[in-house]
Amino acid sequence: MNYNSSEASNGYIIHNANIYTSDDDLPKIESFVVMNGKFIDVGNKIDLMEKWKGFKSIDLKGRTILPGLIDAHGHLQYLGNSLLSVNLIGSKSVEEMRERIREYINSHPDIDPTTEWIVGWGWDQTLWTSKSFPTCKDIDCDPFLEKYSISMTRIDGHVVLVNKKILVKIEEKVVDGGEIGKDKDGELTGIFVDNAMQLIMKIMPSPSEQKLLQQLRLAIYRMHSFGLIGVHDAKEFNIRNYAMVEVLNNNYIDDIEIVEGLGDGRLTVRSVKLFMDGALGSWGAAMLEPYSDDQTKNGFLLSDPALLPPEIRKWMDKGIQVNTHCIGDKANHLVINAYESAFKDRVLSQNVDKEMSEQEIDEEVKKIAEKVRFRIEHAQILTFEDIKRVGRLNIIPSMQPTHAISDMKYAEQRLGSERIKGAYAWRSFIEAGVKAFPLSSDFPVEHVNPFLGFHAAISRKDVDGNSPHGENGWFPSQKLTRQEALKGFTIDAAYAGFGETVMGSITIGKYADFVIIDRDIMEVPEIQIVDTQVLTTVFGGKVVFGDVLKDVI
């Protein structure tokens, strides 16, 4: 093998390791070689040591290594913001919510109540005895709090609660695709759901550039600490970001240009995120039939379905991948229809002089769909027929296993005993023949830790091993295998972002992104997976977290 002494001094061989590659051609190995930030060889120790003489040799003493993990759907800036704001996750009552807000203010005595807002994240009324949304009175009943501008976002990011000091600034009383909360007397309650949240965002003070930078750095360090190597900036941050440009009201179509692998693979921009509905926990997911626990609600459509097909065709013509947020069965149905319509229009426009049978059209539709890789973000509740259509049309369902675990305590009551069978139906998607099944957390909606998602995917139980259906898990027929779950957080996530040739597996020629963990998650009892610790995260061949390889590479 030809290499110079400088390359040899910068390269290294990892050996005596338990390595899962996420590469079907060579799924498990004991050694690999890294040079110039990429994997240049894989296999067993004896062969590699002989072949790459002069390279630094590192004995991992049997530790387990995974490819660098990828979260296929997260919110980096929101994660950073949540780490610097009031933490309401797990709060059990409005009283506890008030107490946490007070504690935050007392620990930040430099807050100026005349110019700054107190923001928080993570309340969830399904954990409370009342099961009802809080109101501004639940905050302002405390005289200490009412002098501050307070905005608290629900755990799903689809509802915000504000207090009276902010509420008096709101003039609009009705909004399409959302709800402004009102009491029986028509007075505003401080609750803003889905599109109504934009009324609050418009008047919220903008964070400084310094604070945004601090949020990003905190979020990325947090990701590294859990073995994740995937999200933002092209130069400064050690993360591989497949950025979705958020699109509302058909904007930006003429402004977005494709960016491929900027900053040595740190930034790719070739996708947009559209929104079709809200979230299940806030009754905002758009449903074909009313909610079983509230017959007055069907959820919200955040976009006009009539405008969706032409918009999607425009993005497709620009070579932009379309990823649409869909939770409810109605939202999913409409978006699948829109995708299929766009695919068929492309086929027919390319074959205007050719008479085609329905079967020929369907075959060409599948080819186009596989090329553009359109995604449904969440794909949470579908009819079984629409699940089959997702597979048939080569649409990618981008799902979050921990959502099922968070929702299983109330989802069946909300959806009913029949409709729930098409919810969080992971195995059904696999059987429908989807090309890839990327997994994620939707952080900070769920914890950023991917091992919680891995555990949820294979067990369908909470971190204590419990579920509403007992020790075998919630609707256990929908479980994933461990190999499917690992691929979901590695090579399938890479595929969903057009990155499978450069990342997502420990394969020759790909970026040397890998994670050393303290246990073999493919073999240990499933309950032990939730306590998995990342010992070291390596990004492009260099350590970005942990001590195992510190001062060695």
In sequence order, the β-bridge partners of residue 246 are 273
Phi, psi of 426 (to 5 degrees): -65, -50
- Cα 470 to Cα 262, 387, 408, 475: the distances in Å are 48, 26, 12, 10
**DSSP H or E run through 218:** helix 209-225
Per-residue confidence (pLDDT) for residue 234, from 0 to 100: 30
Per-residue confidence (pLDDT) for residue 5, from 0 to 100: 65
Tokens of 128: 């409370």
> Does 515 have pLDDT greater than 70?
yes
Residue type at 210 in one-letter notation: Q
Range 387-410 average pLDDT: 97
Which residues neighbour 184 within 8 Å (Cβ) at sequence distance 6 or greater? none
Q: Which tens digit of pLDDT belongs to each residue from 113-150? A: 889 999 999 999 999 999 999 999 999 999 999 999 99
Which tops the pLDDT comparison, 267 or 32? 32
Tokens of 42: 């894989």
> Does 3 have pLDDT greater than 80?
no
Q: Which tens digit of pLDDT belongs to each residue from 195-219? A: 999 999 999 998 888 888 899 889 9
Domains of the chain in start order, with CATH, are: 5-62+515-546 (2.30.40.10), 76-201 (3.10.310.70), 247-480 (3.20.20.140)
> Does 508 have pLDDT greater than 80?
yes
Range 271-299 average pLDDT: 94
CA distance 121 to 88: 6
Range 364-388 average pLDDT: 96
Closest by alpha carbon to 225, among 79, 33, 438? 79
Sign of CA dihedral 140, 141, 145, 150: negative
Per-residue confidence (pLDDT) for residue 262, from 0 to 100: 72
> Does 353 have pLDDT greater than 60?
yes
CA distance 153 to 120: 6
> Does 446 have pLDDT greater than 70?
yes
> Does 283 have pLDDT greater than 80?
yes
Average pLDDT, whole number, for the chain?
Answer: 92
Range 41-58 average pLDDT: 91
Range 163-189 average pLDDT: 91
Per-residue confidence (pLDDT) for residue 235, from 0 to 100: 42
> Does 338 have pLDDT greater than 50?
yes
Per-residue confidence (pLDDT) for residue 119, from 0 to 100: 96
> Does 467 have pLDDT greater than 60?
yes
> Does 269 have pLDDT greater than 60?
yes
Please tell me which of 176-185, 307-316, 369-378 the model is most confident about, judged by mean pLDDT.
369-378
Q: Which tens digit of pLDDT belongs to each residue from 225-259? A: 999 987 533 345 577 887 788 776 555 556 677 87
Per-residue confidence (pLDDT) for residue 2, from 0 to 100: 62
Q: Which tens digit of pLDDT belongs to each residue from 72-105? A: 999 888 898 899 999 999 999 999 999 999 999 9
Residue type at 231 in one-letter notation: V
Per-residue confidence (pLDDT) for residue 232, from 0 to 100: 34
CA distance 180 to 255: 32
Per-residue confidence (pLDDT) for residue 123, from 0 to 100: 95
pTM of the model: 0.92
